Amino acid sequence: MTSSTAAPGADYADTASAAYRAALQVIETVEPRIAAATRKELADQRDSLKLIASENYASPAVLLTMGTWLSDKYAEGTIGHRFYAGCQNVDVVESVAAEHARELFGAPYAYAQPHSGIDANLVAFWAILATRVEAPGLAELGAKHVNDLSEADWESLRNKLGNQRLMGMSLDAGGHLTHGFRPNISGKMFHQRSYGTDPETGLLDYDALAAAAREFKPLILVGGYSAYPRRVDFAKLREIADEVGATLMVDMAHFAGLVAGKVFTGDEDPVPHAHVTTTTTHKSLRGPRGGLVLAQPEYSDAVDKGCPMVLGGPLSHVMAAKAVALAEARQPSFQAYAQRVADNAKSLAEGFLKRGARLVTGGTDNHIVLLDVTSFGLTGRQAESALLDAGVVTNRNSIPADPNGAWYTSGIRFGTPALTTRGFGAAEFDRVAELVVDVLQNTQPNSTGPTGFSKAKYTLADGTAERVHAASAEMLAANPLYPGLTL
Ligand code: PLP
């Protein structure tokens, strides 16, 4: 394991290079277009400033682990109780992944099967319902195809499950779709109310949250976020949950790496406070695409039935890669990485603020920086596209009380996990802020008439993209992705 500031893998780069060359040669013999797209993806990732807060670069060890015959095995069920014969090696894989997760996060129980973050949340919802609600049979509704369920059917389903209530962070304050919003099952199954942030400061208002919870009395209080640039006091959320009889479920998908790396400890570490904690494994945690559920003992039996209750058969090759990534995250070098992720976000935020930009909450103390682009006269959509033209990969995001709605938006979300993996430090992130401001200052919304402006079309001043590309190319070359890996 490397202790340098670059991604893990530098110390076995020659072996990994040989493995990838051989793998691509094999793929090429069957479908050359897939081999070509795979090579091109590496080149593209190497050549762009990846600032998407939910992305990272997994190590070659993690990536290679996914390409094996473990993929070929069916293993529905749980460790030692499978619906298929011959699962002895999958049992080992799942046990090792769960053991690393328990040790890393100090959790009494870990479930390594969820295929993604949404699936992990689905397991958590069903486990909480199964543990806390006496649900009568759902057979009649289960006989219909889910797409054929009418609003009345959904109402009936909610009634059968006891009209349960769920409260999570509002989307425009930074919550996630799975925290009770209509396009997701969580918003169909539950009566939902959301909590927001203080309109002045943009910070979570725990008193308002407690008052809303007292009034609404949710069965499930969801903590966690996708775009909130601050730390959360999970001890306080647990106090509120206990007071109103709610189960506290925390979705730490975004900041699991900061928990694993001991940047968030005490009241900021959700695991000891939440009844059920869910996460993805591929964001700041830097593992394969997938999910995990951690639970207190009273929920573990129900979580363990995630497959086949709401999940398809486990992806054994991905569980194996989770085990490898979690082993990496237990190394001291991962704690240093996580601290740099947070330090770099501060540097990026300060870089924006000193150049006059406005940030939601005025800064950051996690891995996310949320820039309000209205002061540049742009929508999030225009800013996102102009930045992409200049090789800066971000995503547009709503801001609280967003005047441009959820499609065009008024914000750009930045995250530091990926470029920190490449070795970027505070100076590079300050330079990133300078380049972003350069692009935004040189982008104009297109006019649609005497007083109107397009929310999508824009013009980037000549020479801007080239200037920013050249500056970022220097930083990217100095901090190579997968150093020593040649195809
Ligand atoms: N939970 C949170 C907080 C997220 O931000 C995301 C994804 O962005 C998810 C869940 C969903 O994860 P996945 O895409 O792996 O299903």
Domain chopping of the chain, boundaries:
69-133+164-329, 332-478
Protein residue whose Cα sits closest to atom 2 of ligand 1: 253
Pocket of ligand 1 (CB under 6 A): 54, 116-118, 176, 178, 224, 226, 251, 253-254, 280
Which of the residues in the chain have pLDDT under 50? 1-4
171, 176, 398, best to mutate for ligand 1 pocket (most atoms within 8 Å of CB): 176
Q: Which two tokens stand for residue 398?
A: 């709503």
- The full DSSP string for 287-309 is -SS-EEEEE-HHHHHHHHTHHHH
- 117 CA from centroid of ligand 1 (Å): 5
Q: Are 394 and 413 in contact (CB under 8 A)?
A: yes
- With a CB cutoff of 8 Å and minimum separation 6, the contacts of 300 are 108, 109, 111
Say whether 175 counts as a known binding-site residue. yes
**Closest Cα to atom 13 of ligand 1:** 117
Which pLDDT does position 309 carry in this prediction?
Answer: 87
Task: State which ligand 1 atom lies nearest to the alpha carbon of 116.
Answer: 15
Ligand 1 center from residue 280 Cα (angstroms): 6
Q: Find the radius of gyration of the CA atoms of the chain.
A: 23
AA letter at 472: S
Please tell me the predicted confidence (pLDDT) of residue 263: 98
Average pLDDT along the chain: 94
Instruction: Report how far ligand 1's centroid is from the alpha carbon of 254 (Å).
Output: 8
Q: Has 238 been annotated as catalytic?
A: no
Q: Is 29 exposed, middle or buried (0-12, 13-18, 19+ CB in 10 A)?
A: exposed
Q: Cα(422)–Cα(274) distance, rounded to whole angstroms?
A: 33
Domain at 332-478, CATH homologous superfamily: Aspartate Aminotransferase, domain 1 (3.90.1150.10)
Active site residue 251: yes
Identify the CATH class of 69-133+164-329. alpha beta
**Beta pairing partners, 220:** 166, 247
In this prediction the pTM is 0.94
Q: Is 280 a catalytic residue?
A: yes
Instruction: Say which of 197, 280, 420, 421 is annotated catalytic.
Output: 280
Q: How far is CA 146 from the centre of its chain?
A: 27
Measured between alpha carbons, how far is 236 from 225 in angstroms, rounded to an integer?
A: 16
367 known member of a binding site: no
pLDDT in tens, 234-246: 999 999 999 999 9
Q: Whose CA is nearest to atom 9 of ligand 1?
A: 117
Note whether 222 and 177 are within 8 A (CB): no
**339: exposed, middle or buried (Cβ count in 10 Å: 0-12, 13-18, 19+):** middle
The reported pLDDT for the residue numbered 158 is: 78
298 belongs to the catalytic site: no
Contacts of 138 (CB under 8 A, 6+ apart): 157, 160
Provide the pLDDT for residue 385.
98
Strand partners, 204: 197
CA separation, residue 443 to residues 349, 398, 438, 459 (Å): 21, 20, 9, 6
> Same fold for the domain at 69-133+164-329 and the one at 332-478?
no
> Which amino acid would we find at residue 93?
V
Ligand 1 closest atom vs CA 226 = 5
Which helix or strand (DSSP H or E) is residue 445 part of? strand 443-447
- For residues 354 and 75, give the distance between their C-alpha atoms in angstroms, rounded to a whole number: 54
Provide, rounded to the nearest whole percent, the portion of the chain with pLDDT above 70.
96
Alpha helices in 167-315 (DSSP H): 185-189, 206-216, 234-244, 256-260, 297-304, 306-309
pLDDT on residue 6:
59
